[in-house]
A = this chain, B = another copy of it.
């Protein structure tokens, strides 16, 4: 049986990767757990512990090769490949996400877009056609899309999510401010600025 990796550790790996990619862009070749930790506001011990869950990637006395650690993390996170995304809800936020260059450059390609507004259906966003949300399950399955981003009103989110799952979607990035009830095998991450703002106002 595969060793169980704590989800909280998995959640830190993308931030390690992000920081390493910045360091590489800035021309650095190697780093240490101490330096990476200082960059991210995380203890050096925690970084070493997290990484050691997957193997020994560093050298005593020398630290880590940035390129090599980037490659390892990409492989661990399964982002050393490209992923197809579906985008549901082509309002202001959906439009902003569709235009964001960061997805493509990281291997996430929006290949399907859906809305329920007849005015929008048939139109284009970038070079893909906006389709009727009624076709979600069918199209998602046909295109073998496993990841979706949901930017619809919260009243619609649960039903749309169910359709996505019917089509075979396994991971949903949910921008709607509501908790989704889905089968356990589906991974959901929430992005809600209000939740984050209210977290901070506690301290003000």
Report which A residues bind B (CB closer than 8 A): 10-11, 13-15, 17-19, 22, 39-41, 76-79, 83, 92-93, 95-97, 99-100, 102-103, 106, 108, 146-147, 149, 154, 170-171, 173, 177-179, 187, 189, 191-204
Contact = CB atoms under 8 A, between A and B. Distances in A.
Given A39-B179, A191-B191, A78 B201 contact: yes
A95 B97 contact: no
Tell me the interface secondary structure of chain A in the complex: helix
A200 B177 contact: no
Nearest to A151: B96
Contacts of A40: 179
Contact of A13 (B106, B194, B202, B203): B202
Nearest to A73: B198
Among A76, A103, A106, A200, which residue has the most Cβ atoms of chain B within 10 A? A200
Contact of A204 (B92, B171, B199): B171
B201 A77 contact: yes
Contacts of A187: 200, 203-204
